[in-house]
Structure formats: structure tokens, C-alpha cells
Amino acid sequence: MEWSLESVREMVAGGMQSIRECEICAFAIAMCVLLLFMWYCYRVGQEHGSSPLRGRYLAGPGRIGGVVGGFMSSDCRARGKGKHRSLLEEQNGFAFCQSSECFRCTSAGESLNQRLYHSLQDYAKRYTWSGMGRVHKGVRDQGRYLNSRPTIQRPEVFFLPDLPSAPFFSREVQRHDVELLEQSFPALLAEFESIYHQPPARSGSSLPPGWKANSTPRGQWWTYYLVNQGTPLVLNVRRCPRAWRVLGQLRTFIANNVFGNACFSVLTPGTLVTEHYGPTNVRLRCHLGLRVPPSCELVVGGEPQCWSEGSCLLFDDSFLHRAFHEGGAEDGPRVVFMVDLWHPNVAAAERQALDYIFTPGRLEDKEGK
């Protein structure tokens, strides 16, 4: 083959043309992959977009009225069952109310393990098994985990294995949400005052509208829920627009499953909340002190701590815990704003799976099929 300047030019030109053609093909392939990825994100967003707290309510009280229907079904079921409604009027899920409306009181036992596994399989078929190692391990061996746990930490419903645990956690593990809550202290305190000093909801009751009385051996423990076991209480939310706005700004609030709660909690002087366990170790319970008189204490896993006004206290309520207010009538009530946040070591993929498995109503519906 004879080499000449002309033949070299032709070879270089041909090579450049081939490169340009390959670039066009590669660009086209990349655009197709990008479009497929955007379509997938859109589909996932459509399936989960109606569920998150901030998507439904963050716009404020005006938005709430437009979606009340999304929650009226559970409310109407409670009204339709007079017996269960009367139980819920006086107690709530944290006080072993024995109501069929309470997830914690009705979901224990072997049937729950089977329903958990079926829900996990449904999730994996729709999405992926990737990142589900601990969740799968926990669901598969749930009975063994719950029965073999030491008495100091024994969640009643679901235990996620290999999760670091301690009775109390540093505020740094959820720094953004802790700081946001503490900055909102004046607004939350003012909103508490507005709902606490309302006249009784009905004759013969000492409870203002929206408040629930919990079972205690002595004293009074009242709660005012904005979110109870993953379900917003619309009438209460309407009375507390600023508190609801704060919840919508939290990054780690458990808004989409039965382990998520947010409420104002009141202990009157002389009240004792007896030792009990929470339902799971995947959450941290956060108490923002609003009113903290002397002689009030929270004991978790044998470790005592005191609340402080305007400061947050983070603890794992799957540990055995109790609270008491030993002050006198002149001290007034102890008041905290309580929210459930994700444990910092629960990964994003695990959170999504747990939201799916423990969506309010999902496990109960499976039992009825």
C-alpha cells in the first residue's frame, strides 16, 4: 500500500466521521436511558405522592379542607362503632385500649408475622429486594426476636435487627429537626395554650375538644393528637395550623406508617405513667419541653432524664420507660410536644419499605381477606 498525503487525509476524515456517528448513537442511547429513568421516577412519585405528609398538607389550613375526604373513612368507621368510639374517647393506642381500631392492640401474634412477610413480598415484587437484608431478616425471624429480647428493650410489634440502640440519643443525630422544633417553641407553646383552655367538649367531661385521656394508675395523662398511628386527625389539625406547618418541615418525621405520631402530651401533678414498651425500635421519640415544672422525670432503660423548656429530648421508646410528675397543684402540668422521628441508622430504602409494609390499614386489610 502506497502512503501519500491524500490517503492519510482520507483516513483521518473517515475516522472523524465514524467518531461523529458513534457520538450521535451514544447521545441517542443516553437520552433514551434518561427518559426511561424520568418515567420510572414519575411512576414511583405517582404511587407514593398521595401518601407523604408534606405533599398533602404543607400548604396550610386551606389545603386541609380540600382533602378531608381522604381520612373520613377511618373517622366514620370509629363513629359507626359506638363501643369502640367510647373506648377511644377515654384512651388511645399507647394505653392498651383493647379497641379494634388500635394497631398495637390488635396486631400481635403469628398472624402478624405472616402478614408482614406477605407485605414485604408485595413490596419486593413492585420495587426491589435491594437493601432489604435487615428488613427481610427482621420479618422472617420476628417472633424469635420479640420473644428473646432482654426485658430492658422489647418492642411489641416490630424489631429491626442490627440497629444500634441506646435509651437516650444525642440531639446531633437528628440535628435539623431538633433545631427546627426548638426554634418553633414559642409558636407551639402558644398553640397549646389555645387548645388547652377551651371549654369541655361535652357536658360531664373535663376534656376540651380533641383531647384524649389515657389510662394511668394515678393522676391524669392527656394527649392531643395531630397524627395518630400514621393517620392525621383533621379536626385537630385545623385547630393547630402552626404545629402542622412545623411537622411538614421536619425531614425525618414518620408521616406514612403506623409508627408515626405527633401530639401535645400533658401530665397533671401527681401523675404516674407506668413502665411500658413502645411498638418498634425503628423510631426515636422526640419530646420538646413546653412547660416543665420541678419534680418531673422520664426514666428510659433505667436511666433518668429531666425535660427542659424549649429543648428536645430524644429517646428510644422500645426500651422500658416510665414518666411521672410528683409536683403539687401549684406547679401546674408538665407539657411536651411529642413527635416520632426515624432512627438515624434506618436507611432510606428500608424506610420506604417499612412505609409500604406498615401503611395504616394495610396489615388489617390483609387479615380480613
Q: Rounded distance, CA 367 to CA 111, Å?
A: 8
Percent of the chain with pLDDT over 90: 53
Q: Which domains does the chain have, with CATH numbers?
A: 168-346 (2.60.120.330)
Model confidence pLDDT, tens digit, residues 209-231: 999 999 999 999 999 999 999 99
Model confidence pLDDT, tens digit, residues 249-279: 999 999 999 999 999 999 999 999 999 999 9
Model confidence pLDDT, tens digit, residues 196-207: 998 887 776 778
The answer to whether the CB of 292 falls within 8 A of the CB of 185 is no
Match 363501643 to its residue by C-alpha cell: 83
DSSP E strands, the chain: 168-169, 212-214, 221-228, 231-232, 262-267, 271-276, 283-291, 296-300, 303-305, 312-315, 321-325, 334-342
CA dihedral 98, 273, 338, 79 (to 10 degrees): 30
Match 410489634 to its residue by C-alpha cell: 157
As a whole number, mean pLDDT of residues 327-339 equals: 95
Residue of higher predicted confidence among 71 and 137:
137
Residue 47 has a pLDDT of 47
pTM for the model stands at 0.73
Model confidence pLDDT, tens digit, residues 298-329: 999 999 999 999 999 999 999 999 999 999 99
Query: Does the pLDDT value for residue 114 go beyond 80?
Result: yes
